C-alpha cells in the first residue's frame, strides 16, 4: 500500500473515531457533570445549582441519628471541613458505610429539597487510607 493511501485511510479512521468519541464525550460532559462543592460553597450558591450535586464535608460530632428502627438510613448534619458553623442537614436512606461516624469525612451525592434538607442518593466515607492515620482512634 502506498504511503499516501495508507495515511488517508488512517486519517479517515481517526476522524471517524474522533467524531464518535467527541460526541460521546460531549454528551457525557453536558449530561453527567454535577457540581462538586464543599458545604460552605453549597450554602453560598443559588438553590437551582443544588438539584444534583456532590457535597464534601464532615459528619457533625452531634446530631447524627439513625432513622428510628432502621439501620439502613440516617439523618445527620454535614459540616464544612474548615468552618463547622456552615452545615447542611442530610437525610440518607441507604446502607450506611462501616466507617461512618461523627467526625468522619464523607461525600454525599443528591439534591437539596425545598425544606432545606439534602436528600442523598449515595453516601461515601473516606477510605481508611494507609497513607494517613487521622481516621484512627490513636
Partner 1 sequence: MYVFASTMLFLTLLCAISGGGLALYDIWRGRCDTLPLVEKLHWFTTAALLLASAILLHALYWHDFELKYVAGYTDLVLPVFYRLTAFWAGQEGSMLFWALSVALGGTLFAASGARKSLTPATRLWHWVFFYAIVAFFTLILTTWSNPFIAQTPPKDGNGLNPLLQNPGMIFHPPLLFLGYGGFAVPSCLALAQTLSGKRNEETAWFRLTRPFLLLAWPALTAGIVLGAWWAYMELGWGGYWAWDPVENASLLPWLISTAALHTLIVEDRSGKLGRVNVAMIVLTTVSAFFATYLVRSGVVESVHAFGDGSVGTPLTVFVLAGLLVALRTAFTGGAGGEPLAGPGSREGLIALLAWVLLALAAIILVATLWPQISKFWTGVPKGLDATFYNRVCLPLAAIVVVMAAFCPWLRMGGGANRKNALAGLVACMLVSAAALWMAGYRQGTALLAASAASGLVYDAVLILKNRAVFRSPSTLGALGAHLGVALVTIGIAFSGPYSGDEDMTLAQGQSGRIREYTATLLDIRSGRRPGYEYAAARIEVRKGDRRLGLVEPERRVYDKFGAMQFSEVDTIPGFGDEIYASLLGFDGEKRVVVKISVKPFVNWLWIGGAMLCLLPLLCLRGRKSGSPGPGQRERNPSA
Q: What distance in Å separates the CA atoms of residue 98 and residue 7, rounded to the nearest whole number?
A: 56
Work out whether 89 is an interface residue with partner 1 (CB under 8 A): no
> Grid coordinates in use for 122?
449515595
User: 88: how many CB neighbours lie within 10 A of its CB?
Assistant: 21
Q: Where are the alpha helices (DSSP H) in 39-117?
A: 39-44
Is residue 43 part of the contact set for partner 1 (CB under 8 A)?
Answer: no
What are the beta bridge partners of residue 122? 109
**Using rule CB under 8 A, residue 56 touches partner 1:** yes
Q: How far is CA 59 from the centre of its chain?
A: 15
Contacting residue, 15, 17, 47, 51, with partner 1 by CB under 8 A: 17
Q: Examine residue 91 and tell whether it contacts partner 1 (CB under 8 A).
A: no
25 binds partner 1 per the rule CB under 8 A: yes
Q: Which of 54, 60, 75, 84 binds partner 1 (CB under 8 A)?
A: 54
Which residue in 48, 62, 65, 71 binds partner 1 (CB under 8 A)?
A: 71
Contact between 40 and partner 1 (CB under 8 A)? no
Amino acid at each position: 500500500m502506498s504511503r499516501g493511501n495508507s495515511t488517508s485511510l488512517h486519517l479517515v479512521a481517526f476522524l471517524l473515531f474522533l467524531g464518535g468519541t467527541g460526541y460521546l464525550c460531549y454528551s457525557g460532559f453536558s449530561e453527567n457533570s454535577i457540581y462538586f462543592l464543599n458545604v460552605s460553597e453549597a450554602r453560598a450558591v443559588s438553590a437551582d445549582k443544588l438539584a444534583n450535586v456532590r457535597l464534601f464535608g464532615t459528619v457533625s460530632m452531634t446530631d447524627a441519628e439513625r432513622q428510628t428502627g432502621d439501620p439502613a438510613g440516617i439523618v445527620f448534619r454535614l459540616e464544612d471541613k474548615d468552618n463547622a458553623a456552615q452545615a447542611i442537614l442530610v437525610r440518607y436512606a441507604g446502607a450506611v458505610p462501616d466507617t461512618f461516624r461523627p467526625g468522619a469525612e464523607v461525600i454525599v451525592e443528591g439534591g437539596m429539597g425545598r425544606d432545606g434538607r439534602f436528600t442523598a442518593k449515595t453516601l461515601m466515607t473516606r477510605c481508611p487510607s494507609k497513607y494517613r492515620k487521622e481516621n484512627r482512634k490513636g
